[in-house]
């Protein structure tokens, strides 16, 4: 299996499992990601952690050997699309280098926990290629614009401490501690009402894409969904009764 999954309470850990190839994305990996994110849609999953096997490389991007051989790479795009369309919070647990498509995968995640030795980059321009999985515009959105443009144009890498200082990542951990820290962050999310988290995230993800008026309309719809749930009554009741809320997800 090139993609493994394991459920930790309400957190689904998805692991890219091609360490011998830098966890690079090939057609099998793309298909594995599609299946994994289908699993993430289940009611018992409230958050997703995406990581790579080993402690050196999160994901080296597209498998260039497969690309050079003319293999159909459509399944890779389908795998990234499955990540992009996931309605649950997705946390990247970056255990090492994340380059090219691997960095773009991280940028599609909502949050990132990274090892101190991790490095990130879009080196496509150094190879006469193009970062076609949204990296060329997602990166300048996530960093000060001029820094993002520099990384896109030079293809040079960014180290984890600087990425953390500029707010690109949420947590910085010693080597070997990434997955545990990412699961802990996921747990801080999964203790909350599932529909409330999902609908709040649905709006928050659009903050850079819509006008204030458009966001208000989307937020009103999301709020209507939240206040129609049983959990919207359970939360206040639990607060009044001074007990932990028991979420049904309904």
pLDDT reported for residue 150: 97
Q: Which member of 116, 124, 199, 241 is catalytic?
A: 124
What is the rounded CA–CA span in Å between residue 148 and residue 146? 5
What CATH fold (topology level) applies to the domain 3-190? 2-enoyl-CoA Hydratase; Chain A, domain 1 (3.90.226)
Selecting among 6, 9, 87, 104, the annotated active-site residue is: 104
124 among known catalytic residues: yes
Distance CA 142, CA 176 (A): 26
pLDDT of residue 71: 73
Res. 70: pLDDT tops 90: no
| Residue whose structure tokens are 């459509």 | 74
Q: Is 6 a catalytic residue?
A: no
Tokens for 49, please give them. 């952690």
Which pLDDT score, from 0 to 100, does residue 62 have?
A: 87
Give a three-class secondary structure readout of the chain: CCEEEEEECCEEEEEECCHHHCCCECHHHHHHHHHHHHHHCCCCCCEEEEEECCCCEEECCECHHHHHCCCCCHHHHHHHHHHHCCCCCEEEEECCEEECHHHHHHHHCCEEEEECCCEEECHHHHHCCCCCCCHHHHHHHHCCHHHHHHHHHHCCCEEHHHHHHCCCCCEEECCCCHHHHHHHHHHHHHCCCHHHHHHHHHHHCCCCCCCHHHHHHHHHHHHHHHHCCCHHHHHHHHHHCCCCCCCCCC
Hey, how many other C-beta atoms are within 10 angstroms of the C-beta on 227?
13
- The pLDDT of residue 59 is 96
The partner residues of 19 in beta bridges, in order of sequence, read none
Average pLDDT, the chain: 94
CA dihedral 14, 102, 141, 171 (to 10 degrees): 50
Cα–Cα distance measured from residue 197 to residue 207, given in angstroms and rounded to the nearest whole number: 16
pLDDT at residue 63, rounded to an integer: 84
pLDDT tens-digit map of 169-203: 999 999 899 999 999 999 999 999 999 999 999 99
Confidence of residue 96 (pLDDT cuts 50, 70, 90): very high
Domain locations along the chain: 3-190, 194-240
Predicted confidence (pLDDT) per residue in 6-37, tens digit: 999 999 999 999 999 999 999 999 999 999 99
The whole-number pLDDT of residue 72 equals: 80
For 75-92, write each residue's pLDDT tens digit: 999 999 999 999 999 999
What number is the average pLDDT over the span 129-136?
90
């Amino acid at each position: 299996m090139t993609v493994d999954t394991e459920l930790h309470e309400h957190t689904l850990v998805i692991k890219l499992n091609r360490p011998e190839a830098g966890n690079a994305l090939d057609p099998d990996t793309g298909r594995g990601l599609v299946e994994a994110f289908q699993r993430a849609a289940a009611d018992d999953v409230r958050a997703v952690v995406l990581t790579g096997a080993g402690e050196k490389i999160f994901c080296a991007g597209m498998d260039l050997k497969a690309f050079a051989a003319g293999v159909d790479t459509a399944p890779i795009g389908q795998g990234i699309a499955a990540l992009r369309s996931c309605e649950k919070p997705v946390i990247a647990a970056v255990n090492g280098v994340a380059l090219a498509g691997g960095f773009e995968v991280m940028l599609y995640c909502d949050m990132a926990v990274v090892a101190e030795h991790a490095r990130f980059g879009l080196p496509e321009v150094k190879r006469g290629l193009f970062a076609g999985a949204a990296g060329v515009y997602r990166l300048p959105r996530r960093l000060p614009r001029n820094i993002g443009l520099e990384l896109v144009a030079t293809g040079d890498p960014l180290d984890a401490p600087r990425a953390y200082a500029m707010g690109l990542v949420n947590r910085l951990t010693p080597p070997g501690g990434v997955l545990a820290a990412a699961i802990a962050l996921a747990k801080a999310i999964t203790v909350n009402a599932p529909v409330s988290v999902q609908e709040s995230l649905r709006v928050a993800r659009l903050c850079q894409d819509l006008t204030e008026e458009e966001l208000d309309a989307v937020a009103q719809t999301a709020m209507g969904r939240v206040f129609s749930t049983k959990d919207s009554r359970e939360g206040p009741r639990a607060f009044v009764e001074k007990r932990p809320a028991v979420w049904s997800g309904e």
